[in-house]
Amino acid sequence: MFMQESFRWYGPSDGVPLSFIRQAGAEGVVTSLHHIPYGELWSEEEIRKRQNEVSAAGMVWNVVESLPVHEDIKVRSGDYKRRIENFRQSLRNLGKCGLKIVTYNFMPVLDWVRTDLRYRLPDGSETLYFNNTQFAAFELFLLQRPGAENDYDSATYERAKKFYDSMSPSVRDAFCKGIIDNFPGCLKGVTLNDIRKMLSRYKDMGRAELVGNFKDFLDAVIPVAEESSCQLVIHPDDPPRSILGLPRFFCNQNDLAALLALKNTCGNGICFCAGSLSANPANDIVAMFKSCASRVGFVHLRSTQPAGDGNFYEANHLSGSVDMYELVKAIIDEQLRRKDSGRADYRIPIRPDHGPVMLDDLSKDACDNPGYSAIGRLKGLAELRGLEYGILRSCYPEVWREFSTKMREKAK
């Protein structure tokens, strides 16, 4: 279709093989070198090995998600100079291999947070859920983060205590693991003490200090990205709020504008995750996309449903709080603008981000990569493809005729 449809793959150990992804109709594969420890060098040899695995399955590795930013870089201490140089050289190697879109994030300590990885919906499918009371129970009584009691009112504290007391020791262990040991593509065996040690490195660090460290990081890596014909695209904070008392700086429209202004160049781009940003009910997702459309290199299409008190769950792709029709139409408009300007790479890679656990995936252990069961994402991709089909045919008939002809020829 007009958008470059892609699917995330976690490598050879992923329970969803490349053959399934191809059957889903995806053109591109979004993946990473998950076997390489955070902060270490991605060699050209390892990158090409992964490219060959994907191409042998009849697809192309079109987006890197993610090239991890080590905690040393975020706090600008320890071995951060070597790790920045590794990041720079990894970018050079990715550029040599023709990989142009490189996703990363700058979230302190935890990459993303949910409190229930298998929240049951009324139709029997399961999704990811963030509950503020449950997270308070984690912070207050499991992690025992100093100062956490100041971040919650008395009513939340009492609800959190009641929730904590309701769990058996084994349930508490599973609950805790679901929060702290969900780094994309790998289970790192992270413990509560590991989290406490990581948190201690951010002591007395406020938003200004974290943004300063981020600016220093951009100063070091954006020139290398552009020399290598790469675009670095940053993923929004997930959820878009302070977590563990730590500052975050990519949560809303003002943050987005400030982030792009730090380096006003195309190399400093956006991974526009509609799902992450929609967890803040105040965010106008379509307006946010339009405000940064020219700097968007990659899009995650999903939607969340706010449930009050800071809670939300991940809704199906065409439901929830995101106006998916208007967002997809805005993506098509941006691609047409790029096409009219003469850009050969005008198509924006998208992927159906996450998906419910449903049908016979419910009987499988789908939580090694929460949100990434096969059938729910296939359903999401099919819905998004149908939405795009309808928008193109009704609003852009000439574009539709061109691409429908290409699709028919490709199917022969």
**Element holding 391 (H helix, E strand):** helix 374-395
Report percent pLDDT > 90 for the chain.
90
Task: Tell me the residue type at 131.
Answer: N
pLDDT at 10: 95
Alpha-carbon distance 262 to 335, whole Å? 25
Tokens found for residue 410: 């490709």
**3-class SS of residue 216:** helix
**What's residue 411's pLDDT?**
66
| Range with the poorest average pLDDT among 272-276, 339-343, 386-390, 398-402 | 398-402
Q: Was domain 4-110+204-411 assigned CATH 3.30.300.180?
A: no
Residue given tokens 């603008």 in the structure block: 337
Confidence tier at 185 by pLDDT (50, 70, 90): low
Q: Output the CA torsion sign for 23, 27, 33, 39.
A: negative
Looking at the annotation, which residues are catalytic?
A: 235, 273, 300, 353-354, 372
pLDDT of residue 186: 61
pLDDT at 295 over 90: yes
The strand pairing partners of 270, in sequence order, are 234, 296
- Angstrom CA distances, 140 to 144, 161, 182, 240, 326, stand at 5, 8, 20, 21, 41
Listing DSSP states for 364-385 in one string gives: S-TTSSTT--HHHHHHHHHHHH
The C-alpha atoms of residue 325 and residue 362 are separated, in whole angstroms, by 29
The residues near 340 (Cβ < 8 Å, ≥ 6 apart) are none
| CB 136 within 8 Å of CB 157 | yes
Ordered by start, the domain boundaries in the chain are 4-110+204-411, 116-197
pLDDT tens profile 83-139: 999 999 999 999 999 999 999 999 999 989 999 999 999 999 999 999 999 999 999
256, exposed or middle or buried, with CB in 10 Å at 0-12, 13-18, 19+?
A: buried
| Dihedral sign (CA 22, 372, 384, 296) | negative
The one-character DSSP state at 149 is: G
